[in-house]
Amino acid sequence: MSQVGAFPGMDVFRKRTIRATPSPLDKATIISIYPMEIEEVKHTVQPGIFKIPAGTPQHPAILVVGPSSWWRELDEQQPLLEIPVSSIQIADSIVRDYCNGLFCCDMSEKMPGLFFIPGNLSLETVKKDHKDKLDSAERKQRNWFMDLVRAADVLWSQSNGNPLAISQQMRLAADQLQLKDKPWLADFTTAQLVNCPACGALRNSDFPICQHCKVVIDKVRFEALGLKFAS
């Protein structure tokens, strides 16, 4: 029930989220040598959308972030309480939330080349004063790329050349390591997955044997390749 003397819609104004002026000194710089653009969205804070351009060890990309805020409701009569989140917490969350859970990433010695440094830093300052961090990030990213390539080789073999088994990051890893001879790096736009006439599962039509039931589908090609089953 409306209070006597209250203006219509007063509750709407009372519940508005109005940020206090953030400190201009509360800054953190995210550095990326990962050759893909990264977009992280934090739905519970404002600002909550962060885009980091693609970078390389030679030309790192940077994103300077400030503090964000979220709001807590105390009761129906009081305005929402702003809870500030420091730039360091935001930067750490962006890096961890993107990297954590990536295939083959251990968040230690095998991970994308993504890290942050407290403060508002220029690219020149990062290259001059934090070369050790850039070198460490490059080493960790190379380790991660090598693990992705090894995993891709196994998946390619186990799936009998199914292009769906190879992720975009695996192809990116092989490209960055300059491993041009990998068969799973080929253009798979023409690769056709068809149903196996024996088991019905999808199989790569470029191979004579079904990877699922091991039935020889194309006997002519099987014999032409000189293949035979192990005894």
Domain boundaries, the chain: 10-130, 192-231
Q: What is the DSSP string of the chain?
A: -PPTTPPTTHHHHHT---PPPPPTT--EEEEE--SS-EEEE-TTSBS-EEEE----SSS-EEEEE--EEEEE---SSSPPEEEEE-HHHHHHHHHHHHHTT-TT--SSSSS-SEEEEES---HHHHHHH-HHHHHHHHHHHHHHHHHHHHHHHHHHHHTTS-GGGS-HHHHHHHHHTT-TT-GGGS--TT--EEE-TTT--EEETTSSB-TTT--BS-HHHHHHTT-----
**What mean pLDDT is reported for the chain?**
87
| pLDDT reading at 116 higher than 50 | yes
| pLDDT reading at 135 higher than 60 | yes
Structure confidence at residue 202 (pLDDT): 76
Structure confidence at residue 192 (pLDDT): 61
- Mean pLDDT over residues 132-148, rounded? 98
- Mean pLDDT over residues 169-198, rounded? 82
Structure confidence at residue 228 (pLDDT): 77
Structure confidence at residue 99 (pLDDT): 96
Structure confidence at residue 93 (pLDDT): 97
pLDDT per residue as tens digits for the range 50-77: 999 999 999 999 999 999 999 888 877 7
Of 34, 31, 28, 29, the closest CA to residue 140 belongs to 34
- Mean pLDDT over residues 170-174, rounded? 95
pLDDT per residue as tens digits for the range 15-57: 667 778 889 999 999 999 999 999 999 999 999 999 999 999 9
- Mean pLDDT over residues 134-145, rounded? 98
Structure confidence at residue 73 (pLDDT): 85
Reported confidence tier of residue 205, pLDDT bands at 50, 70, 90: confident
Structure confidence at residue 5 (pLDDT): 47
CB-CB contact of 36 with 98 (8 Å): no
